[in-house]
A and B are shown apart, each in its own frame.
Chain A
Amino acid sequence: MIRPTRDPATIRVGDALPAREQRFTQVDLVAYGAATWDWHRLHYDLEYARTKKLPGTLVDGQAFGAVFARAALDWAGPRAFIARLGFKMKSMAFAGDTLIARGEVTAVRALDDGVHLVTLAQRLTNGERVCAEATTEVRVPAPAGR
């Protein structure tokens, strides 16, 4: 039994995605770097990071894309497809930070075959600071048989 995909007919502008927490420990940064074939010292070598005038080892900004995508797909369901995800960095995050992803629906547009294109505005916050902002377009199909 698979999780249901959200019925696009029920999606309204202003609907909120559940907040999702993502913690980035030093172990998480090493795991992410290895999993993406990225061995850059910024993500694990504190002395090196300090030579770049950074206070800690840096969370790879590209990981924020994965956090936004996961929050969007966990909300939309397994048949949904992300067609576009654009994010802008607002502040840096470092090992030990816990980020929270939030978002809401800003547009819903019917395409062909009952598929709806749902636009999300997503944010990643790091305490009081905004870390990154995203605009995400998700294609959500109509339930089978409609």
Chain B
Amino acid sequence: MALLTDELRAWIGREVHYPAREELGRASIRYFALAMGDDNPLYVDDAYAQAAGYPSVIAPPTLVCETCQYAHRPPDEDGYIGHEWHLPVPDARMIRAGNDYEFMRPVLPTDRISVTWTLADIAERSSSRGGTQLFVSSVATYRDAAGAVVAINRETLVYQPLGAQ
């Protein structure tokens, strides 16, 4: 049975914008570094960061692409508050295939980052476990308060049917 229906195809090209709700903030930066056990002083020590040529502490590079800080909604049934297309794919397990991040400049605690998600493509491919699965490619573009792009995240998720294998 084909997973990629016309109904699903119609989702390709959709776009959702999440405006910045506040500055990224020093607390978010320190929290992330602490959670990863990353003791790099660039993330917590202004004097150190300035000696390295930055205006202040900076965010760990991938934080901007990993955080759902842009989100502002109650958790869904999976507990998730971040961006999700909620595609009409019945009884599937969603697995990450990969991410490709591009960074234009270091992100600062004073940055107000907005995010635009675009559904770039949906493709159905055969699975090594038999049957087929859906590859959903999205692009998240992160912009600062001036509208300049600070990072791009190309993400591919796989929807694996949980039915009989």
Give me the interface of A with B, judged by CB distance under 8 Å.
2, 5, 22, 28, 31-32, 34-42, 45, 48, 52-54, 61-63, 65-67, 69-70, 73-74, 78-79, 81-89, 92, 132
**From residue B51, how far is it (CB to closest CB) to chain A in Å?**
5
A69 in contact with B62 (CB, 8 Å): yes
* Chain B residues within 8 Å of A22, by CB: 36-37
In-complex Cβ contact of B100 among A40, A69, A73, A86 (8 A): A86
Question: Is the CB–CB distance between A37 and B81 below 8 Å?
Answer: yes
- Interface of chain A: mostly helix, strand, loop or mixed: mixed
Q: Mark B17-40, 1 if CB is under 8 A from A, else 0.
A: 000000000001001101111101
Asked, given contacts A73-B61, A84-B102, A86-B100, whether A66 binds B66 with beta carbons under 8 Å apart, the answer is yes
CA gap between A82 and B100 in the complex, in Å = 12
Contact assessment for B98 and A81 in the assembled complex, using a CB-CB cutoff below 8 Å: no
A83 to B98, Cβ gap below 8 A?
no
The reply to whether A35 and B101 contact each other, CB–CB distance below 8 Å, is no
Are A36 and B32 closer than 8 Å at their CB atoms?
yes
Contact B95 A89 (CB under 8 A): yes
Instruction: Count residues of B near A (Cβ-Cβ below 8 Å).
Output: 44
Closest B residue to A23 using CB positions: B37
Q: Tell me which residues across on chain A come within 8 A of B98, comparing CB atoms.
A: 86-89, 132
Q: Which residue of A32, A39, A69 contacts B81 across the interface (Cβ within 8 Å)?
A: A39
Closest CB-CB distance, A131 to chain B, in whole Å? 11
Which of A35, A52, A81 meets B35, CB within 8 Å? A35
Our pick among B35, B68, B75, B80 for the contact of A28 (Cβ within 8 Å) is B35
* Known contacts A36-B32, A37-B67, A52-B93; A70/B38 CB under 8 A: yes
User: A85's contact among B67, B75, B101, by CB below 8 Å, is which?
Assistant: B101
Whole-angstrom distance from the CB of B152 to the nearest CB of chain A?
10
**Helix, strand, loop or mixed for chain B's interface?**
mixed
The docked-state distance in angstroms from the alpha carbon of A74 to that of B106 is 16
Q: How far is the CA of A45 from the CA of B81 in the complex (A)?
A: 16
- A63 contacts B36, CB within 8 Å? yes
Complex: how many Å from CA A79 to CA B76? 40
Q: In the complex, given contacts A66-B63, A88-B98, A132-B98, what are 11 additional A-B residue pairs having Cβ atoms less than 8 angstroms apart?
A: A32-B35, A36-B35, A37-B69, A39-B79, A62-B66, A65-B101, A67-B36, A78-B40, A83-B103, A89-B96, A89-B98
Q: Is B109 located at the chain interface by the 8 A CB criterion? A: no
| A85 surroundings in chain B (CB, below 8 A) | 61-62, 100-101, 103
Residue of B with least CB distance to A42: B78
- Are B68 and A38 within 8 A (Cβ)? yes
Contacts of B35 in A (CB 8 A): 28, 31-32, 34-36
Residues in A with CB closer than 8 Å to B36 are 22, 32, 35, 63, 66-67, 70
Q: List 14 A-B contacts (CB under 8 A).
A: A22-B36, A22-B37, A28-B35, A36-B35, A36-B67, A36-B68, A40-B78, A41-B78, A42-B78, A66-B60, A67-B36, A78-B42, A84-B101, A89-B96
